Chain A
Amino acid sequence: DVKVTQSSRYLVKRTGEKVFLECVQDMDHENMFWYRQDPGLGLRLIYFSYDVKMKEKGDIPEGYSVSREKKERFSLILESASTNQTSMYLCASSSLAREDGELFFGEGSRLTVL
């Protein structure tokens, strides 16, 4: 089974702090994604990466950056956390070899910014 692991399930940070959210997948997937989930808004794409060191902006990249130094790992960085970044963050991966393009999700990281 595909496993997508997010390092932190719950985080509480203060405004202005730098925050790292880590995501690791173990199935050699090319594509990796970061979404944030807010009630009534569904999932919104922040950034995605289709290869090592490659990244593309999603719908809401402002205030975020990403890093993909190794194929299995995709990090989301909040340079200076703000209260409006309090949310659930979901990492996902997918394989180009699969025709259906199905996404596999991690358990999520719930971030609270005070």
Chain B
Amino acid sequence: ELKVEQNPLFLSMQEGKNYTIYCNYSTTSDRLYWYRQDPGKSLESLFVLLSNGAVKQEGRLMASLDTKARLSTLHITAAVHDLSATYFCAVGMYNNNDMRFGAGTRLTVKP
């Protein structure tokens, strides 16, 4: 059974600092997703990573995938308050009928 572990589950950081969220998964997978959720809102897609060594960047967020280590990271550079949200990783198999989500990382960026 595919299991996905995210850490940390809660992250409070100062504006301007850097930090990394980790996503480990238990079985071989061919795709990894990162989503953002604002309070009371639905999930918004951030990144889709489809191959070993894939790296994608958008603004202050950068996601990478190491399929051999079964690890994805979401790196936050010079955090700003607008990045405060809950971030989920999700691991999928072909046709996504077996997609699994991590528990989420609740990020708070303080001035």
Does residue B80 face the partner (Cβ distance < 8 Å to A)? no
Query: In the docked arrangement, what's the CA distance between A96 and B94, Å?
Result: 10
B97:A90 contact, CB within 8 angstroms: no
CA distance A42 to B33 in the complex (A): 14
Q: Separation in Å of the A68 CB from the closest CB of chain B? A: 14
Report the Cα distance A31→B103, complex, angstroms: 23
Take A40-B9, A41-B103 as given contacts and tell me if A101 and B95 are in contact as well, using a CB distance cutoff of 8 Å.
Answer: yes
Q: From B4, B95, B99, give the contact of A45 (CB < 8 A).
A: B99
Name A101's contact: one of B4, B31, B42 (CB within 8 Å). B31
> A31-B96, A48-B97, A50-B97 are contacts. A102–B45 as well, Cβ < 8 Å?
yes
| Nearest-Cβ distance from residue B83 to partner chain A, whole angstroms | 20
**Per-residue 0/1 for A38-62: is the Cβ within 8 Å of any B Cβ (1 yes, 0 no)?**
0011111100101000001000000
Contact code string B81-111 (vs A, CB < 8 Å = 1, else 0): 0000000101010111101111110000000
Distance in angstroms from A41 CB to nearest chain B CB is: 6
Asked if B88 contacts A50 (CB within 8 A), the reply is: no
Q: In the complex, are the beta carbons of B103 and A42 less than 8 A apart?
A: yes
Question: Which of B94, B95, B99, B103 is in CB contact (< 8 Å) with A40?
Answer: B103
Known: A45-B99, A48-B97, A96-B95. A102 touches B33 (CB 8 A): yes
**Residues of chain B contacted by A25 (CB below 8 angstroms):** none
The answer for the CA separation of A42 and B23 in the assembled complex, in Å, is 13
Interface residues of B (CB under 8 A from A): 4, 6, 9, 31, 33, 35, 41-45, 48, 50, 88, 90, 92, 94-97, 99-104
6 pairs of residues in contact across A and B, judged by CB atoms under 8 Å: A31-B95, A43-B43, A43-B90, A103-B33, A105-B43, A108-B41
